[in-house]
Structure 1
């Protein structure tokens, strides 16, 4: 929610706001990449933790849907679904990029630019 408030206060355009979001998620995942890989990909989560993660993802998707509604250029009819897809896509791609730094085929800057281009194309079509 703080991110949305910041983006609204800054009055950033859609591309800049999504770029900020992707970079923030990448930073969040970049702290200890190998530990994140083990915790999120190889270790089964306790039920309570799994449920909390699902709830956090639902909340993030709702927040993103509300945020997307601020931009008239977003043409997706169902903002709830669009918010869900944006959150899931960014979470998955940034986690994979950060958790496997030795396997990357592009720079961090290129990664952010390409993810944002993909999201903007989806949201505007």
Structure 2
């Protein structure tokens, strides 16, 4: 059995060998993130790249965890039991393997609807990422 390919979407411009680490401001909620998030599905990484803080087009990186990781409870325990999104988190760095250059974002109206939904949840005080 082969290891899964893991993805991380962000606005940060990185190079192979760079490390993504927790401790930066979270894209959702604006607090300091105790975890670094990644997925084995390209779709989740596309959302990450599009919703990330910052200007310009996002980047999607193929990453490898450098330490233990677990299912992302924000999604697997609350929204999608059983982890169909294959979303994970770690408190250890992710190493950039390469950048995925050929990916397509969501239509503008779908992206606007997602942003509006996230903003509504944040106004209501929902803990989007813990």
TM over 0.5: no
TM-score range with shorter-chain normalisation? under 0.3
Q: TM-score, normalised by structure 2?
A: 0.24
Kindly indicate which of the two structures has a greater share of residues assigned to strand: 2
Q: TM-score, normalised by structure 1?
A: 0.25
Query: Could you say which structure has the larger radius of gyration?
Result: 1
Kindly indicate which of the two structures has a greater share of residues assigned to helix: 1
RCO greater where, 1 or 2, for CA within 8 Å and sep 6 or more? 1
